[in-house]
C-alpha cells in the first residue's frame, strides 16, 4: 500500500466561505503580496494528482490562463460530464472508489483543489489525511461555505500553524488517531 496522502489545500474567508454566491474570488486579493505564495509552490511540488469539482474546474478555466495543473494527473468529479479533455479526466462514481484506486498505486500526494461539494463528500467519508487551510482576514458575509452540515464530528491534531504579515493564518491539521 502506498503512503500517498489526500491533502486539502484551500483558502477560506474568516467567516468560512470559499467564494461569493456568484463564484467571485476577488476577496482573496486582500492578502496578495509580491513574492509571497504562502507555501503553495512548495506544497504543489509534493503532489502529482489533483481532484476538483466541476464548478471549480470551470472557474479555473474562466481565468483565461494556462491550466495550472499541467503535468499532473487531474480528475474532475462531475455528475454531467464524462470522458476527458486536454486537462482532466471526468469521474462520476463515488469519490471513495477513486481515492482507493489512487492510494493503491505509488505516487506523490493527492491535492484536493475544491470545491465545497468535493470537500464535504470526502469529509463525510473521512478520506482527507491533511487539511491545509488558509484563513483570509475578511468577512464576505455569504456565499459558498467550505463546510456544510451533515458530516460526522472529527477530532483533529494541529500539525503546523503560521501567521503572515498580511493577516493570513495557515493551519495544518490531520485527523486524530483513535
Instruction: Indicate whether 130 pLDDT > 90.
Output: yes
In a domain, 110, yes or no: yes
In a domain, 58, yes or no: yes
* Edge-to-edge strands, sheet with 6-13: 89-91, 73-77, 47-53, 109-112, 6-13, 130-136, 169-175, 156-163
pTM as predicted: 0.94
Contacts of 161 (CB under 8 A, 6+ apart): 169, 170, 171, 172
In a domain, 159, yes or no: yes
Number of domains in the chain: 1
In a domain, 95, yes or no: yes
- Reading the block at residue 1, the C-alpha cell is 500500500
Question: β-strand 73-77 against 89-91: which pairing, if any?
Answer: parallel
pLDDT for res 172: 98
In a domain, 17, yes or no: yes
Mean pLDDT for the stretch of residues 36-53: 97
Question: β-strand 109-112 against 47-53: which pairing, if any?
Answer: parallel
Instruction: Indicate whether 151 pLDDT > 90.
Output: no
In a domain, 1, yes or no: no
**pLDDT tens sequence across 73-118:** 999 999 999 999 999 999 999 999 999 999 999 999 999 999 999 9
Burial of 72 by CB count in 10 Å (0-12 exposed, 13-18 middle, 19+ buried)?
Answer: middle
Mean pLDDT for the stretch of residues 20-32: 94
The secondary element (H helix, E strand) that includes residue 119 is helix 116-124
In a domain, 102, yes or no: yes
Among the listed residues 147, 144, 101, 145, the one whose alpha carbon sits nearest the alpha carbon of residue 124: 147
pLDDT for res 98: 97
User: Domain residues for 60?
Assistant: 6-175
CATH of the domain at 146: 3.40.430.10
CA pair distance 178, 107, nearest whole angstrom: 26
CA pair distance 119, 124, nearest whole angstrom: 9
Amino acid at each position: 500500500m502506498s503512503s500517498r496522502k489526500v491533502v486539502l489545500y484551500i483558502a477560506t474567508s474568516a467567516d468560512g466561505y470559499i467564494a461569493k454566491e456568484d463564484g467571485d474570488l476577488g476577496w482573496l486579493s486582500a492578502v496578495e503580496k509580491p513574492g509571497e505564495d504562502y507555501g503553495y509552490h512548495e506544497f504543489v511540488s509534493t503532489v502529482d494528482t489533483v481532484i476538483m469539482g466541476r464548478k471549480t474546474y470551470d472557474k479555473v478555466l474562466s481565468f483565461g490562463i494556462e491550466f495550472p495543473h499541467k503535468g499532473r494527473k487531474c480528475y474532475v468529479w462531475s455528475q454531467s460530464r464524462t470522458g476527458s479533455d486536454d486537462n482532466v479526466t471526468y469521474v462520476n462514481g463515488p469519490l471513495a472508489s477513486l481515492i482507493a484506486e489512487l492510494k493503491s498505486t505509488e505516487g506523490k500526494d493527492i491535492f484536493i483543489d475544491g470545491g465545497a461539494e468535493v470537500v464535504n463528500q470526502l469529509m463525510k467519508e473521512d478520506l482527507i489525511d491533511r487539511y491545509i487551510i488558509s484563513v483570509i482576514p475578511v468577512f464576505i458575509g455569504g456565499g459558498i461555505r467550505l463546510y456544510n452540515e451533515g458530516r460526522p464530528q472529527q477530532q483533529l491534531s494541529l500539525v503546523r500553524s503560521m501567521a503572515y504579515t498580511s493577516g493570513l493564518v495557515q493551519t495544518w491539521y490531520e485527523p486524530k488517531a483513535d
